[in-house]
Structure 1
Amino acid sequence: MAKHLSISLNEMRVPRILEVWKMGVVNYSQTLKLQEKLTSDRKLHKITDTLLSLQHPPTYTLGKRQTDHNILVSESELKAMGAELHYTQRGGDVTFHGPHQAILYPIISLRDIGIGARKYVEKLELTMVELASLYGLKACAGQKGETGVWVGRRKIGAIGVRISSGITSHGLAFNVDPDLNYFKHIVPCGIADKEVTSLQKEVQQMLIPPEEVIVEQLISCFVRTFDYTDVVSKDVSSISLDN
C-alpha cells in the first residue's frame, strides 16, 4: 500500500504556465494600454501569467517621481530627433527605450509565486545577469539605490516596475546593441557618474548572434529564474493593438 502512495516531489509539483507574447516593435502608448488591460485581466484570473517581449521606437520614459530635471534637452528637441516622451506610473527614474534593446514586461501574480516586491526585482536582475554570463560578462546587480544590472561601472540593463494588487507590469530592458548616443540626452536612472553600455560594446569584436536569438535567450533566463514549468509562445507582431 505504501508503495502505491509514494509520490515524488516532481509529480506533486503544480504546473506553472507562462504565455509569452512576441510583439516586435510596438509604440509605447499602445503598450501602456495593453499592460493596463492585461493587468486587469490577470487580477480577475481571466488570463495566466503573461510575458510581453518587444522593442520600442526611440522613447524616453519617466517614472512616477517625474524627475524632469534628469532630461537634459527640451521635449521639442526630443521630438526633432524622432523620440517620444512618456510619463508613467512605474518605479525608477528616467530611461531610454529604443531599437536593439530587448524588453520584457511581465504581467504576473506575485501572490501566486509567493514572493514580494524586493525579491521580484532581484529575480529580474538575475535574469539579465544570467544572459550576460552566456557571453562571458561578469554582470551584477547594482549597489543600494542603483537598481538594474551592471558590468563594472557601466549599466547594461534597466529595471522599472509597477505592482498593483500583487500583479506586476512594466519590467526590464537589456541593451543588446542600441544607439548609446540617445542616453547622452538624459541622466540615465538619475545616476550621473556612471556610463551606459551594451552587450555588443562589452564583447567588442566578438560576433554576437542575431538579435532574435538573444531575445530567446533572455526569455529562457526569465523562465528559469521564475521557475515556470510550461511556456506557450504567441506571435502577435501582426495583430493590431488598437482594439
Structure 2
Amino acid sequence: MPDIYVLGVEDYKKILDFQRRLNNLRNQNKIEDSFIILEHNDVYTSGVHYKGAMDNIIKTERGGYLTYHGPGQLVAYFIINMKEGNKNVLDVIRLIQKTVTDFLEVYNIDAHPELNEKTGVWVNNKKICSIGLAIKGFSTLHGMALNINTDLKKFYLINPCNFDPEIMTSIEEIKGFKIPMDDARKKYMEILIRDFKIENYNLYTKINDFYI
C-alpha cells in the first residue's frame, strides 16, 4: 500500500536524497507510491530551465526555474509510478493542482490551475502554488509548494518561476491570518488521500534511516 510521510520542518538536501532513494525503489517495484508532506528550512532551489548563476542555490532535476522554500510553506512530494494506470506527467500535475484548489476551497479561496509557462495554482493574477516535477525511470519525484504563511519577502531575492517576485501570494496575505501548519498538513493529507483515491496507506511521521 502507499506510504505517506507527514513530517515537520526538514533540511532540503536530506529530503532530496530521500526522494531519490524512494524513486529508485519505486522504479524497481520494491515499494508502492509515496507521498511526503512537510516544510523546509530556508532554501533556494533551481530547476532544469534555469540557466543563470546564483550563489547558495541547490540545483535539482525538477522542471522550472528558481524558487524559494521555507517555514510556513506547505510542500508535498510525489513518488508515483506512471506505468500503473497509464498515467502521464500532465495527469499527475492536474491531480496535484486539484489537491491544491480543493485545499484552498476549505479557506474560501477561489483558485485556478494553469499549465505551460504558468504551471501552478493562481488566485486571480497572483501565484500561490508552484509545481515542478521530474521523471526518473517510470516514476516522478519533486512536487508542489503552497504558500500558507510564507515570508513573501524571501521571494524578492529571485525571480520565482521566472516571474517578478510581486506575483507571489499566500493564504496569510489573502485572508489576513495565519494557519497553524500542523492543521494545514493534516487537512492537506486528508484531501490528498481523497483526490488520489487512496483507500489504505502506511503513515509515517519520521523517515526510516534505511531510506537515506
Same fold (TM over 0.5): yes
- Does 1:152 find its partner at 2:124? yes
- Does 1:93 find its partner at 2:77? no
Contact 1:24 1:54 in 2 (8 A): yes
- Over the matched positions of the two proteins, sequence identity in percent amounts to 27
Could you list the runs of 5+ residues in structure 2 that have no partner in the other structure? none
Contact 1:61 1:94 in 2 (8 A): yes
- Does 1:63 find its partner at 2:47? yes
2:175 to 203, 207, 214: 203
CA distance in 1, matches of 2:166, 2:195: 27
- Report the AA paired with residue 177 of structure 1: N
Write out aligned runs for 1:17-96 (5 A): 17-68=1-52, 75=55, 84-96=56-68
Provide the alpha-carbon RMSD of the alignment.
2.0
Q: TM-score, normalised by structure 1?
A: 0.81
Q: Which residue of 2 aligns with 1:162?
A: 134
Assess, with a 3 A threshold, how the Cα gap between structure 1 residues 107 and 144 changes in structure 2: closer, same or farther: closer
Alignment: residue pair count: 212
CA distance in 2, matches of 1:47, 1:152: 39
CA distance in 1, matches of 2:144, 2:115: 17
- Report the AA paired with residue 18 of structure 2: L
Q: Which residue of 1 aligns with 2:90?
A: 118
Deviations 1:26-56 (A, max 9, x none): 2111112111111111111111111111211
Assess, with a 3 A threshold, how the Cα gap between structure 1 residues 143 and 165 changes in structure 2: closer, same or farther: closer
Assess, with a 3 A threshold, how the Cα gap between structure 1 residues 242 and 18 changes in structure 2: closer, same or farther: closer
Local SS of the residue matching 1:68: coil
Local SS of the residue matching 1:126: helix
Q: Which residue of 1 aligns with 2:191?
A: 221
- Does 1:102 find its partner at 2:86? no
Assess, with a 3 A threshold, how the Cα gap between structure 1 residues 196 and 40 changes in structure 2: closer, same or farther: same
Contact 2:50 2:64 in 1 (8 A): no
- Report the AA paired with residue 97 of structure 2: E
Local SS of the residue matching 1:110: coil
Q: Which residue of 2 aligns with 1:79?
A: none
Deviations 1:197-229 (A, max 9, x none): 111111125x64x21111111122222222111
Contact 1:34 1:241 in 2 (8 A): no
Q: TM-score, normalised by structure 2?
A: 0.92
